[in-house]
Chain A
Amino acid sequence: MTDKAITILAIDDDQDILFTLAAIGRTYGWRVITENDGRQAAAKVRGLKPDIILVDYHMPGLDGLSTVDLIRTHDHSAPIIVLTVDERQEIADRFLDAGANDFANKPIKIADLAARIRVHMHMRQQQEQSPAPFCDKGINEATLGLVRSFCRGAAGPFAAEEVAEGTGLAYQTIVRYLQFLQGRRELTASSSYGKVGRPRKKYQWMAKMGP
């Protein structure tokens, strides 16, 4: 799929941001449909069949979280990227639970956003070729595959930031997937206590035991 064919649905209450997203889309030759109301946007999804959905968190009326929820009740599989100022992991977790796939922190760097959109387009293509069901709430098999292959290829212990950089996914998304892999004992984590600040977690891929 070329960039030209991509249809993006952008949902934000701020007209300036919608204008900006449309301008970014034009630069890359994407079709960007803008919508400033979550409910109307969710209703549009079925007919529009967008390739990517961008959704804002803070909106009057239906907020981003409920919008994602509503879109997913229609069981539309388009990747949803959340645009947010809020960098808290708990908010990220709630979004992933609701069915969002990734995050782009505001303000948006054009190159970052483009890379992120391309990653999700690529993953979607792969998923269409070998459809795999959702394996856990908030965990997408394609995203998991991407994270897993990065971890497997890592030379030594790695931090969540490195995975985010390597995969093109948001830090918050990566944290969630790494926790999931840790829970499945595919990864081990150890905290390295630096001199200042919070301890940094380093992950390591575990060779699978048995046959």
Chain B
Amino acid sequence: MSLKAINYPHILSGLGLILLGLLAPAVLSVKGFGIFPLMERSLVHASSGALLTASLKLVALNTLRALPIYIGTLLLAQGLGTFRAGAPRILLVLPLAVIPAAYEAIKLIYGIAYDFGIPAISLMLAILLMSRLENMTRRVFHKILVLALLLFGVEWLDTVPLLSGYWFGRGEISTDLKKIAAFLEAEEILNITGIALFIICTTNSFILARLLSVYTKELKVAEQVRLDSELKLRTLENRSLREMQSLVHDLKTPLTSIQGLAGVLAVSVADDPNRQYAARIVEASDKMSSMISEMLRDDTRQIISGREIVEYAAAHVPGLSGLRSFRIEAVEPLPAVAVNKIKMSRAIVNLLENAMEAVGGDNGRVGVRVSARDGRAVIEITDNGSGIPSDQSQLIWEPGFSTKNSSGFGLPFVRETVETNGGAIVIDSVGGQGTRVIITLPEVTDHD
């Protein structure tokens, strides 16, 4: 068996629980549970009610004492990879030996003999069975619930006088209880109560196991569905990106004619305004061509001031300049960055649009501050808008997540753009009070 199959945290907590099981009798005693006075009262007053209460307490006590040992064994078995395909058979024996060994230890330490009868054996088998339930292996808490209910049900069989001859309820107190029942002629009550509770509890335990298993499976399916839709979104996103790229690509063909013919004009016409016009057309088409190249290629960079990007972006957000409070603050010395200008300004347009939408009315304030700090250009976009509720602060980065019926690709695009340009982005928001987005980009000092 490879060491990979071994889960050390499981083994450790398993051993811890078994140890707890060994310590349990010191805390959980028959005396502490007040079982003896109840037995005495049932004898003195011929009260089958007191007898039933005594047996209930005994079952509860036995359950509480045994539970850590059983769960510990279950965890141990799982931690050792007992049920993994190809695991050595010997591993099956180990957990099977743990429970009798623990019982023996308790007998040695406290002189209390836990009865290792049919209930214990069937429980052990139940544990082995349970660790094979694949969907149950994920949640330890589920297993504890199911096992506790099963244990509580099975322990009732020890109080059933009818089963006394068949390796059931051979413990000291169980035997006493059954003797009292025989004396009070209340055996039938114990028989019916014990068997009924056994059936109810074990059935419920199985139903619970099944339900939890289905629940876990459905969680898995839901997770898969989420992953699938994410994949679909990404595929769509890629496709639209490709479409856009080929469209942008095609723009270069007419631009070739524009630039070429303007160039012909610029060199052939005599020195008059027309020559200048032609030169301007060449210049403009040249700018357009580099914009197209930047749109097509992520790794195209130009060195530009942080303020220039922000101003370029702000000019593309409708209504922003109408906002009385909007202003761009640039702290000298102005940082220069090497970025894909088109994409980076699209990213900032996205953030400014988000800010605009968040502030809504007339009292909205949107501010941009550009500064340099520790060799990095810092662009901060602040607003006093509705903010992002803290439960959504992680979701905003998920593609397709949107609070305003948009595509939900905005912020993922922003983050991707900032990161591919060597920067980082942090969003600091308080629901109802506003948002601050901080982008830092490596500053370019020597223009190489």
CB of B422 within 8 A of CB of A106, answer: no
B-facing residues in A10-35 (Cβ within 8 Å):
14, 16-17, 19-21, 23-24, 26-27
Whether a CB of chain B sits under 8 angstroms from the CB of A115 is no
Whether a CB of chain A sits under 8 angstroms from the CB of B395 is no
A-facing residues in B272-293 (Cβ within 8 Å):
282, 285-286, 289, 293
CB of B263 within 8 A of CB of A110, answer: yes
A-facing mask of B245-276, CB < 8 A → 1, else 0?
Answer: 00001001111111111011011100000000
Chain B residue nearest in CB terms to A110: B263
Most buried by B among A17, A87, A194, A197: A197
B-facing residues in A107-129 (Cβ within 8 Å):
107-111
CB of B263 within 8 A of CB of A196, answer: no
Partner of A197, one of B260, B282, B301: B301
CB of B256 within 8 A of CB of A20, answer: yes
CB of A196 within 8 A of CB of B268, answer: no
Q: How far is the CB of A129 from chain B (nearest CB, A)?
A: 31
Chain A residue nearest in CB terms to B254: A16
Interface of B is mostly: helix
Interface size on B, residues (CB 8 A): 33
Contact surface of A with B, Cβ cutoff 8 Å? 14, 16-17, 19-21, 23-24, 26-27, 83, 85-87, 106-111, 192, 194-198, 200
Q: How far is the CB of B327 from chain A (nearest CB, A)?
A: 28
CB of A110 within 8 A of CB of B299, answer: no
Whether a CB of chain A sits under 8 angstroms from the CB of B388 is no
Please name all residues of chain B whose beta carbon is closer than 8 Å to the beta carbon of A17 when the two chains form the complex. Answer: 253, 256-257, 260
CB of A197 within 8 A of CB of B297, answer: no
Partner of A85, one of B253, B263, B282, B285: B253
For the complex with contacts A27-B267, A107-B286, 5 further pairs of A-B residues with Cβ separation under 8 Å are A24-B260, A83-B256, A107-B258, A110-B259, A196-B301
CB of A20 within 8 A of CB of B301, answer: no
Partner of A110, one of B249, B267, B297, B421: B267
Partner of B297, one of A14, A87, A108, A200: A87
Most buried by B among A14, A87, A109: A109
Whether a CB of chain A sits under 8 angstroms from the CB of B335 is no
Per the bound structure, the CA–CA distance linking A178 and B256 in Å amounts to 29
CB of B301 within 8 A of CB of A106, answer: no
CB of B260 within 8 A of CB of A21, answer: yes
Chain A residue nearest in CB terms to B421: A196
Per the bound structure, the CA–CA distance linking A196 and B212 in Å amounts to 52
Q: How far is the CB of B306 from chain A (nearest CB, A)?
A: 13
Q: How far is the CB of B323 from chain A (nearest CB, A)?
A: 32
Whether a CB of chain A sits under 8 angstroms from the CB of B38 is no
Please name all residues of chain A whose beta carbon is closer than 8 Å to the beta carbon of B256 when the two chains form the complex. Answer: 14, 16-17, 20, 83, 106-108
A-facing mask of B399-436, CB < 8 A → 1, else 0?
Answer: 00000000000000000000001100000000000000
CB of B267 within 8 A of CB of A85, answer: no
Chain B residue nearest in CB terms to A192: B448
**Given A109-B282, A195-B442: A20 touches B257 (CB 8 Å cut-off):** yes
CB of A107 within 8 A of CB of B259, answer: yes
Please name all residues of chain B whose beta carbon is closer than 8 Å to the beta carbon of A107 when the two chains form the complex. Answer: 252, 255-256, 258-260, 285-286, 289
Chain B residue nearest in CB terms to A106: B256
A-facing residues in B378-392 (Cβ within 8 Å):
none
CB of A87 within 8 A of CB of B293, answer: yes
Q: How far is the CB of A32 from chain B (nearest CB, A)?
A: 12
Whether a CB of chain A sits under 8 angstroms from the CB of B71 is no
Please name all residues of chain B whose beta carbon is closer than 8 Å to the beta carbon of A14 when the two chains form the complex. Answer: 253, 256-257
Whether a CB of chain A sits under 8 angstroms from the CB of B439 is no
CB of B260 within 8 A of CB of A196, answer: no
Most buried by A among B253, B256, B289, B299: B256
CB of B253 within 8 A of CB of A106, answer: yes
Chain A residue nearest in CB terms to B250: A85
Q: How far is the CB of A60 from chain B (nearest CB, A)?
A: 13
Please name all residues of chain B whose beta carbon is closer than 8 Å to the beta carbon of A85 when the two chains form the complex. Answer: 249, 252-253
> Which are the 6 A-B pairs with shortest beta-carbon distances?
A110-B263, A20-B260, A107-B259, A16-B257, A85-B252, A107-B256
Please name all residues of chain B whose beta carbon is closer than 8 Å to the beta carbon of A86 when the two chains form the complex. Answer: 249
Chain B residue nearest in CB terms to A16: B257
A-facing mask of B219-253, CB < 8 A → 1, else 0?
Answer: 00000000000000000000000000000010011
Please name all residues of chain B whose beta carbon is closer than 8 Å to the beta carbon of A198 when the two chains form the complex. Answer: 299
